[in-house]
Amino acid sequence: MKFGVIVFPGSNCDQDVYHVLGAVLGQPVDYLWHGDTDVAGYDCLVLPGGFSYGDYLRAGAIARFAPIMPAVIDFARSGGLVLGICNGFQILLEAGLLPGAMRRNDCLQFRCQWTYLRVENNATPFTNRFREGQVIRIPIAHGEGNYYADAATLAELEANRQIIFRYCAPDGEVTPAANPNGSVGNIAGIINREGNILGMMPHPERCAESLLGGTDGRELFASIVDWWQRGERLGA
């Protein structure tokens, strides 16, 4: 399985993702420069965290028009696996590949901390190694993670089980106090209706080795590899 990690000017988690996929999971992985226009030959694309184009105007707004994005959008629309982490999630929202938008954290602070997440749906290429309802621990680091969707969109996300992760207390209870940014419904990650595009604010690449204090993030990347190696394909 071949991964591509897209590097925008201002990406800063690209090397962490590359390390996890290549050194920790032993998968072939390449960097793809934002100025490239071709993503042929890749099985999964990762849009990493960072501050693409300085987050000017709105986080992800300018990256969404990078030369590589038409190819990423084509890849995603034709069912290719796409994972957007933090700034990558913001870019996917701006590109319209996922519904909703990000607002500034309600606390106005940049939040860099461990969070507990409840896995709301494990029947996806990205979460199949978790149990449904499992509480996992993955860190966040963002100032604009306050996810917003209008009531109709939110109802649709709920009905189609597209909410994948919610911020929760260590015991799994979804409470306002466990929400670090004010996101609607404590949402930390969502998937598109077809199930091939996941966006999440927490950083799984930062907790994929015990040396870094946790390995729950590794299971997310390993889920993708397992899913692919079992020969599962969406819509098949």
Q: What's the N-to-C CA distance of the chain in angstroms? A: 18
Interface characters, 179-218, with other proteins (x: CB under 8 A):
---x------------------------------------
The least CB distance from residue 104 to other proteins, in Å, is 5
Taking the least distance from each CB to other proteins, the nearer of 95 and 224 is 95
**Virtual CA dihedral for 35, 50, 106, 188, nearest 10 degrees?**
90
Q: How many CA atoms are closer than 13 Å to the CA of 24, on its beta-carbon side?
A: 24
**96 Cβ contact partners less than 8 Å away, ≥ 6 residues apart:** none
H/E element, 87: helix 87-94
Does residue 86 have an active-site annotation? yes
**112 Cβ contact partners less than 8 Å away, ≥ 6 residues apart:** 139, 140, 141
Interface characters, 101-130, with other proteins (x: CB under 8 A):
x-xxxxxx----------------------
Q: Does 57 bind other proteins (CB under 8 A)?
A: yes
| Given 65, 70, 74, 171, the residue binding other proteins (CB under 8 A) | 65
Q: Which of 13, 205, 207, 219 is catalytic?
A: 205
Can you say whether the dihedral through the CA atoms of 96, 53, 28, 199 is positive or negative?
negative
From CA 135, how far away is CA 133, in angstroms rounded? 6
Q: Does 146 bind other proteins (CB under 8 A)?
A: yes
The least CB distance from residue 99 to other proteins, in Å, is 8
Q: Does 61 bind other proteins (CB under 8 A)?
A: yes
Give exposure, 77-94, as e/b (b: 16+ Cβ within 10 Å): eeebbbbbbbbbbbbbbb
The least CB distance from residue 101 to other proteins, in Å, is 4
From CA 44, how far away is CA 55, in angstroms rounded? 25
From CA 113, how far away is CA 108, in angstroms rounded? 15
Does residue 168 have an active-site annotation? no
A 10 A CB-CB count for 174 gives 17
Q: Does 149 bind other proteins (CB under 8 A)?
A: yes
Interface characters, 6-45, with other proteins (x: CB under 8 A):
----------------------------------------
Taking the least distance from each CB to other proteins, the nearer of 33 and 65 is 65
Q: Which stretch binds other proteins (CB under 8 A): 54-62, 123-131, 190-198, 212-220?
A: 54-62
Which residues belong to the active site?
86, 203, 205
Chain residues binding other proteins by CB under 8 A are 57-58, 61-62, 65, 93-94, 99-101, 103-108, 146, 148-150, 182
